[in-house]
Structure 1
Amino acid sequence: MELTREIAEKTLEEANKANPGPWYDHSKYVAFACQNIASHCQEMDENLAYVYGILHDIGRYAGVTSEKHLIDGYRYCIERGWKKAAQICISHAFMIKDISTYIGISDVPIEDKEFMARYVKEAVYDDYDYLVQLCDALALPTGFCLLEKRFVDVTIRYGTHPATVERWKVTLGIKEYFEKKMGCSIYDCLPGVIENSFR
């Protein structure tokens, strides 16, 4: 099945009916952040960026889970032939390519854990992987926000992890990478980011 913007949006709507939650609005804001930033980067397709952003958490259709949503999203997309979207369902959680840096709860069988460990280690990341990793950290369910606000939001919900600070550093490095490509601040592309960050 060809992955288009319309199909991705319909997929998200159906997934939200199966498991409604704040992840739905978060996914939409991630998608728009991806689109807006990609539109300022040469050799990036803003529609592809939008599609990958909107589907990054699609594994949440299967219920309220933690690490399991990564493998559920991967399988969902692979079944439909959406190979890159499937990769991003996993890669968005691993800006550090090490399965042990996952900050949520491990709620997958050992065979799935071992599969993801190999997958993350062997995956070749491109600008779309990095973009979704960045935009995942720029979007609350209520709108765009400063990275630091999202860092605190996630840490309050999941607690600190040995990899927390290193993950922040890598994410800030990705921000700098895209700002060099864009020639401006990422925040210039995110309407309402200041208001939403300080509300």
Structure 2
Amino acid sequence: MEPDRKTAEQAIREAYESNPGSWAEHSRYVAQACENIATHCKGLSGEKAYVLGLLHDIGRYAGVSSEKHLIDGYRYCSARGWNKAAQICISHAFMIQDINTSIGTFDVSEEDFLFMKNFVANAVYDDYDLLVQLCDSLALPTGFCLLEKRFVDVTIRYGAHPFTVDRWKKILQIKAFFEEKAGCSIYDLLPGVVENSLRQEGAYA
């Protein structure tokens, strides 16, 4: 069972206190984007989408890291019985279900790497996994943004990788999927998306 909104927000506040950073504001905008889109899609809960979006980077509570935050988040949520949130802590980084498509550094033990490799390959994604993957690319710490703005933001910080373009293509496919479900452009559901995208600041570590 997943936490309610109040519990998830308390978890983020505590995680931020443990490791302050703009990742927390990014997470809040991801959560809001998830809720805004979910409420326009039949069969999805805006409340659940908000909570799952808010918790996707909760593993950053453990400190500054690269891909380690994925398994830290998985363990944090699993320990509390938040099974779907735990999955999304890992799945949000793998819109392509192949560990080799990562753009980060696996600053984890060999045992943890193998666990993540098998987890990603065998996870069954549902619309909530896809929604968080999409919304992770629609949010900067300063607000909502066009996908292309986020693509550039991430590539500047992490560099170009062999699967960078394939990852972009997958996110664009997910965007089209949710636009069909919602019956409108996702950007219509994200207040200030164009204005915020034109701002120069916004990147986070």
Instruction: Tell me which residue corresponds to 2:168.
Output: 168
Deviations 1:80-122 (A, max 9, x none): 0000000000000000000011101120111100000000111
**3-state SS of paired residue (1:11):** helix
How far apart in 2 are the matches of 1:23 and 1:198?
20
Aligned residue pair count: 199
Deviations 1:176-199 (A, max 9, x none): 000000000000000000000012
Residue of structure 1 equivalent to 2:137: 137
Aligned-partner residue type, residue 20 of structure 1: P
8 Å contact kept, 2:59–2:72: yes
- Aligned: 1:194 with 2:194: yes
Match of 1:40 in 2: 40
**How far apart are the structure 2 equivalents of 1:53 and 1:194?**
21
Change (3 A) 1:48 1:2: closer
- Deviation, structure 1 residue 2: 5.6
Q: Which residue of 2 aligns with 1:146?
A: 146
**Overall identity of the aligned pairs, in %:** 70
Partner of residue 182, structure 2: 182
TM-score, scaled to structure 1: 0.99
SS across alignment from 2:177: helix
- Runs of 5+ unmatched residues, structure 1: none
> Structure 2-normalised TM-score?
0.96
Cα distance in structure 1, aligned partners of 2:33 and 2:113: 30
- Which residue is equivalent to 2:203? none
In the aligned structure 2, how far is the partner of 1:2 from the partner of 1:34? 15
What residue is the counterpart of 2:24 in the other structure?
24
Q: 1:144 to 1:11 in 2, by over 3 A?
A: same
Equivalent position of 1:58 in the other structure: 58
Structure 2 CA distance for partners of 1:112 and 1:33, relative to 1, 3 Å: same
What is the rounded CA distance, in whole Å, between the counterparts of 1:109 and 1:18 in structure 2?
22
Partner SS state of residue 157, structure 1: helix
Equivalent residue, structure 2, for 1:120: 120
Rounded to whole Å, the distance in 1 between the matches of 2:35 and 2:68 is: 27
